[in-house]
Structure 1
Amino acid sequence: MKFQPDSLDGVNAIARIEPGRVWVRQSSYEHSVIVPWQGAVQTWNASLPTDLTADHFAPLVALAPELVIFGSGAKHTFVSPALYRTLIEHRIGIETMDTPAACRTYNVLVSEGRKVVAALLV
């Protein structure tokens, strides 16, 4: 599915998602990623919701977003709130959805100027 957001200078817009690949701006990633609204896209070393631990969510706090959009892969899968407790303790919101929906939601939020991070299982 290809996305065509308005020009968002200096913002990491998600351009496209395909099975096993996500495109941020002109770069493609064939692994799970953390996509902050600005700055470098980071590798996220998990591929399934069952692989996740609390350590996977801890680096998101350092990015200081107001909201994290968690893309759980092809299927919408909730994970235990204990895994993202550190986000809650820092008053950072988190929403869970399948990865394609997370990409669409992330793009809407960054186009509004929100400080949002997408944590995507690809």
Structure 2
Amino acid sequence: MAPRFERDPSASGPVVRAIGPRGFSVDDGVYPALLLTPISAEGWTPPALDALAEADLAPLLALDPPPEFVILGTGATMAFPPRALVRALEARGIGVEAMDSRAAARTWGVLRAEERWIAAAIMPL
């Protein structure tokens, strides 16, 4: 797996340690796609980006308190999520930050080191 990331000692919760051909290495598992919250990481089987809906992010939206925003890793390249999804999350007071999945994994680590209360949905590369 490459590249590898060093865990920031101030970060709490799951940390993406590496990205490689099999997916994202988080703690003791490797996931082709994943959902991240400040307290958990779980494998995810997302639909195609253009079909992504609020229900597909249910574990992230169940956080209490709700996340400030959701980092959305859109795969190998950056793409825009469906407008209906963005509107649904904004109606809950949750922003969406879309970026390619590698950038999403790196951003997750930086923002969690700042103890930001965020969530991430990272699609396969």
TM-score interval, normalised by the smaller of the two chains: 0.7 to 0.9
CA gap 1:6/1:94 in 2 versus in 1, 3 angstroms: same
Which residue of the partner structure matches residue 117 of structure 1?
119
Does the CA contact (< 8 Å) of 2:11 and 2:114 recur in 1?
no
Residue number among 77, 89, 92 corresponding to 1:90 in the alignment: 92
Does the CA contact (< 8 Å) of 1:57 and 1:87 recur in 2?
no
Unaligned runs of 5+ in 1: none
CA displacement at 1:53 relative to structure 2: 2.8
Which residue of the partner structure matches residue 37 of structure 1?
38
> Could you say what secondary structure the match of 1:77 adopts?
coil
> Could you say what secondary structure the match of 2:6 adopts?
coil
TM-score, length basis structure 1: 0.85
Does the CA contact (< 8 Å) of 2:54 and 2:89 recur in 1?
no
Which residue of the partner structure matches residue 60 of structure 1?
60
Equivalence map 1:19-34=2 (5 Å): 19-30=21-32, 32-34=33-35
State the number of aligned residues.
120
Q: What CA RMSD, in Å, does the superposition of the two structures yield over aligned residues?
A: 1.9
> Could you say what secondary structure the match of 1:3 adopts?
coil
Does the CA contact (< 8 Å) of 2:75 and 2:123 recur in 1?
yes
Equivalence map 1:6-25=2 (5 Å): 6-8=8-10, 10-25=12-27
CA gap 1:27/1:37 in 2 versus in 1, 3 angstroms: same
TM-score, length basis structure 2: 0.83
CA distance in 2 between partners of 1:102 and 1:86 (Å): 21
Unaligned runs of 5+ in 2: none
CA gap 1:19/1:47 in 2 versus in 1, 3 angstroms: farther
Calculate percent identity across the aligned residue pairs.
Answer: 33
The residue identity in structure 2 corresponding to 1:53 is: A
CA distance in 2 between partners of 1:47 and 1:75 (Å): 16
CA gap 1:10/1:108 in 2 versus in 1, 3 angstroms: closer
CA displacement at 1:110 relative to structure 2: 0.2
After superposition, give the CA deviation of every residue in 1:73-92 in whole Å (9 maximum; x if it has no partner): 00111122202333111111
